[in-house]
Amino acid sequence: MTVAVVGATASGKSAVALAVARALGDVEIVSVDSMQVYRGLDIGTAKPSAAERAEVPHHLLDLVDPEEEFSVAEFQHAARAALADIRARRRRPLLVGGTGLYLRAVIDDLDLPGQYPAVRADLAAEADTTALLARLGALDPVAASRIPPGNRRRVVRALEVTLGSGRPFSSYGPGLAVYRPGPVPVGLDVPLEELDRRIEARVATMLDAGLLAEAAALRGRPLSRTAARALGYEELLGHLAGACSLDDATTRIVRRTRQLARRQLRWFRRDPRTVWCSPDDAVRVVTDLLLDSEQRHPDHER
């Protein structure tokens, strides 16, 4: 059984995972976070501290520089290797994070299409999204029927894969609609009002810890598309460029983080396997799941 701690940002996932690791003594944490893979994005992504990483092994942190693109497929490959290594050493992996697609890629073994930058660049030159959707409809009507007409990003991605791979985008496995039995995501259920307070406090703490200086170190670097959108950094880089005051940037960070939290909750609530509990109960729930997994699969899981 694969166990994961999931939920919104600032819900306490890392604290729960560390408490479980300390209680069991043989747990290694596997980060499932699309931003923690980037070196130098430490404060703003709430990476575990050096002391925490020395106490409990963490995986899938600091994999690439912010200038590098890092795809879901690359994350999936790295996660498979990390899980195999942990289990080969007869230790327990615990997945922890809030990037839902990355988690699904790992626990549901999604059939992921590749990246085709040259094709994507050609498609980006076409300003008419309706024309792109019509083109997709001729090549892959199933994919076209699943995409809202105004969602340009999804239209371009489906066309990129269809043209680049020579295979319809819709042919890549059952996709996100199918949930494999077995994995158990444990979701941290925090009331929205409390979550909003936690987010505001966390942003203030990050700024006190040096987030502005961390963002300043990225100035002038050709950031990847993903890293450039990292919460906190994008807003503070705008402030440093003179686009807004620090107070305005801070307000926007808080607002965008709250919006992200709600999207994360909607994503994880769609998964029928998710066991929801309070952060106070989660340590016991996760610990029991890991122990139960060992009892039922002593050779396979460890």
Closest CA to 34 of 82, 69, 84, 83: 69
What Rg do the C-alpha atoms of the chain give, in angstroms?
20
**152-165 and 129-139 helices, crossing angle to 10°:** 40
Write down the pLDDT at residue 301: 47
Token pair in block for residue 59: 């995986």
Could you report the per-residue pLDDT of 35-51, keeping only the tens digit for each?
999 999 999 999 999 99
Provide the whole-model pTM. Answer: 0.87
- Measured CA to CA, the distance from residue 279 to residue 190 in angstroms comes to 7
- Average pLDDT across the chain, whole number: 94
Write down the pLDDT at residue 199: 98
Write down the pLDDT at residue 302: 47
Write down the pLDDT at residue 295: 59
Domains of the chain, with CATH numbers?
3-111+177-296 (3.40.50.300), 117-171 (1.10.20.140)
Write down the pLDDT at residue 113: 87
Least-confidence region, from 50-59, 109-118, 254-263? 109-118
In one-letter notation, the amino acid at residue 208 is: D
Alpha-carbon distance values, 212 to 66, 120, 202 (Å): 16, 33, 14
- Measured CA to CA, the distance from residue 87 to residue 224 in angstroms comes to 33
Three-class SS state of 58: strand
Could you report the per-residue pLDDT of 117-173, keeping only the tens digit for each?
999 999 999 999 999 999 999 999 999 998 988 899 999 999 999 999 999 999 987
The edge-to-edge listing of strands for the beta sheet with 184-188 is 58-59, 27-31, 92-96, 3-6, 184-188, 275-277
- Measured CA to CA, the distance from residue 20 to residue 23 in angstroms comes to 5
Write down the pLDDT at residue 294: 65
- Measured CA to CA, the distance from residue 110 to residue 108 in angstroms comes to 5
pLDDT beyond 80 at 296:
no
Once rounded to an integer, what is the mean pLDDT over residues 60-81? 96
- Measured CA to CA, the distance from residue 139 to residue 113 in angstroms comes to 16
Interior/surface letters 22-51, b for 16+ CB within 10 angstroms, e for the rest: eebeebbbbbbbbbbbbebbbbbbbbbeee
Three-class SS state of 39: coil
Write down the pLDDT at residue 32: 98
Are 119 and 135 in contact by the 8 Å Cβ rule? The answer is no
Write down the pLDDT at residue 177: 82
38 beta partners:
64
Q: Name the one residue in this structure whose structure tokens are 């996660």.
A: 79
Once rounded to an integer, what is the mean pLDDT over residues 226-232? 94
